[in-house]
Amino acid sequence: MTSSSPIVSSQGLKIPLERVGVLVGKEGIVKSEIEKRCNVTLDVNGETGDVQISYDLGSLAEGDPFRAQEIITAIARGFSPQRAFILFEEGKTLSTIDLRQYSGKSENSLARIKARLIGSDGKARKLIEQLSGTQVSIYGHTVSIIGDTEKSKVAESALLKIASGGTHKAAYQMLQKYRSKQKLERLQLWESQKPPEEREY
């Protein structure tokens, strides 16, 4: 009795040509890592930027083509492979905002918004990352966020506040308030786990 051939399915996406080399990596190391950890096969066209993700429908339990697609999209949106690989962690997601909804068709307006989000020497982006506990990439006409759902929503709110013309100060204050709340919740949890005689009242 011969075993049946695997039922292979595939899905495709297109990435910027300048990100193809990053996706493949030196000697194919990045591409191979995604294939191995997601149990998929990647066909990357270096001339068009088309990426085909193939996987065996019979072994979807061992594979994760959707995670592969998310990681490829993150790399396409400007994240380094190291930062994109955070998406292998449980509970981490990628969210992307199209800045053209704030800039319209004006390239100058888009450039101004991106400059405000990045800040001098990248200060604004780095501070948003630090205060929200997320990773942020500003690339092309998008800003993308990697993090858990709650933290990503907070980072997104801060980024949208700046993109829509709000002050950096207001965005940072919102993030600082969230961070303080998180610290208080962790402290309360830590106290609740102590034996009753050691708790502070």
Helix or strand holding residue 141 (H, E): none
Q: Do residues 82 and 106 share a domain? A: no
Q: Do residues 161 and 79 share a domain? A: no
Q: Do residues 84 and 97 share a domain? A: no
**Best CA proximity match to 117, nearest among 164, 80, 154:** 164
**Best CA proximity match to 109, nearest among 60, 155, 67, 163:** 163
Q: Do residues 10 and 70 share a domain? A: yes
Strand pairing class (50-56; 135-139):
unpaired
Q: Do residues 106 and 78 share a domain? A: no
Q: What pLDDT, on the 0 to 100 scale, is given for residue 171?
A: 96
**How confident is the model over 7-64, as pLDDT tens digits?**
667 889 999 999 999 999 999 999 999 999 999 999 999 999 999 999 887 666 667 9
Domain containing 65: what range? 1-88
Q: H helices of the chain, where?
A: 20-24, 29-38, 65-76, 81-84, 100-103, 107-118, 123-132, 149-163, 168-192
CB-CB contact of 94 with 160 (8 Å): no
CB-CB contact of 139 with 154 (8 Å): no
Q: Do residues 18 and 3 share a domain? A: yes
- What's the CATH number where 125 sits? 3.30.1370.10
* Residue 189 tokens, joined: 């949890």
Q: pTM of the entire structure?
A: 0.85
For the chain, how many structural domains are there in total?
A: 2
**How confident is the model over 87-125, as pLDDT tens digits?**
999 999 999 999 999 999 899 999 999 999 999 999 999
